[in-house]
Structure 1
Amino acid sequence: MMTAALPTAQKLADLSALDCTAFSSQLGGIFEHSPWVAERAWAARPFASVDALHQAMVAAMLDAGRAEQLALIRAHPELAGKEAAAGTLTQASTGEQQGAGLDRCTADELQRLRSLNAAYRSRFGFPFVIAVKGRSRHQIMDIIEARLGNDAETEFRTCLDEIAKIARFRLDALLGAA
């Protein structure tokens, strides 16, 4: 595991020196339950910056077929959904949702959020995905409501864009670049 004491440049050099299996092990959680993204980005080594690593990972995601992209979107948990209630979110997702205050929803807020999640999934066939960092639970609910008016293709692309943002936040946290 990466140690926080190393400078970012050293962490990147260490990552770049890893074989594909070890690299994927270190970065497999950057894209929710989708280590294939790290596996495919590995070929772009060495990484001179966090930006370069992030770009390689996003390119791997965008170069994937539609079915893999859909599976990646569907790998994301619903906000304050059943995974959160059951305590089965990934560590990264738990921290992100807590940071947005989603673990502190009132009963009415939780009912609204779950209703919005259900409406979104019913309309688009995948969960609502957003990079929650820096947003309040109230902002998030308003954004879900607004995005319900989009067409399916716009939402598919928006989810991939949001996943790229989430990945950047996770890389920054892992590599101490934030």
Structure 2
Amino acid sequence: MKPSSLSHAQFLAVFGPVYEASPWVAEGVWPAAEAGRLDAPGALAQAMRAQVDAAPQEMRLALIRAHPELASRARMAQASVREQSGAGLDQCDAEEFAAFQRLNGAYDARFGFPFIVAVKGMTRADILAAFEARLANDPETEFAAAIDQIHRIAGFRLAELT
């Protein structure tokens, strides 16, 4: 599907959810999509990434905070449900669930936003190890890591759509 073949409303319906609860990313690249400049493979992903990277710090923080906690029982976007389920996070035993809850709390207390990792291809043990390791990061490093992981998630979502 070529982005330029879609109406504005169709484009936002299809690509608005790529960056979790942040349709401003798709809205920002719409003029280039409409003009046909994002039809080449990878062009849309690059443009959306650039839109996020150029956004003010507050908007990027809001984007990070739009993501659900891992192994949470809170409501989340359908794409997040599929991604977390694919990593088995919906099958945690009591001990694993408690570990995720403890780490979610410690991480949020330290950084002020949820832990973000592209879970595709990871096991629960991999995710818990990454969680533990990244808790040691300084806030600036972790903010950059969260944005990088969000870009990876968006890349996986775009690959499913195109």
RMSD over aligned CA atoms reads 1.1
Deviation at 1:89, TM superposition (A): 1.7
What's the counterpart of residue 89 of structure 1? 76
Unaligned ranges ≥5, structure 2: none
What's the counterpart of residue 60 of structure 2? 69
The one-letter amino acid of 2:94's match is A
Unaligned ranges ≥5, structure 1: 1-10
Separation in structure 2 between the aligned mates of residue 82 and residue 97 of structure 1, nearest angstrom: 11
1:151 to 138, 144, 155: 138
TM-score (norm 1): 0.86
2:14 to 13, 26, 29: 26
- What is the number of equivalent residue pairs in this alignment? 159
What's the counterpart of residue 119 of structure 1? 106
Separation in structure 1 between the aligned mates of residue 80 and residue 93 of structure 2, nearest angstrom: 20
What's the counterpart of residue 80 of structure 1? 71
What's the counterpart of residue 4 of structure 1? none
The one-letter amino acid of 1:80's match is A
- For 1:28-47, list aligned pairs within 5 A: 28-45=16-33, 46=36, 47=38
Separation in structure 2 between the aligned mates of residue 169 and residue 156 of structure 1, nearest angstrom: 20
Deviation at 1:48, TM superposition (A): 3.1
Contact 1:21 1:39 in 2 (8 A): no
2:50 to 37, 43, 59: 59
SS for the counterpart of 1:28 is helix
Separation in structure 2 between the aligned mates of residue 134 and residue 27 of structure 1, nearest angstrom: 23
What's the counterpart of residue 137 of structure 1? 124
TM-score (norm 2): 0.94
Deviation at 1:44, TM superposition (A): 2.3
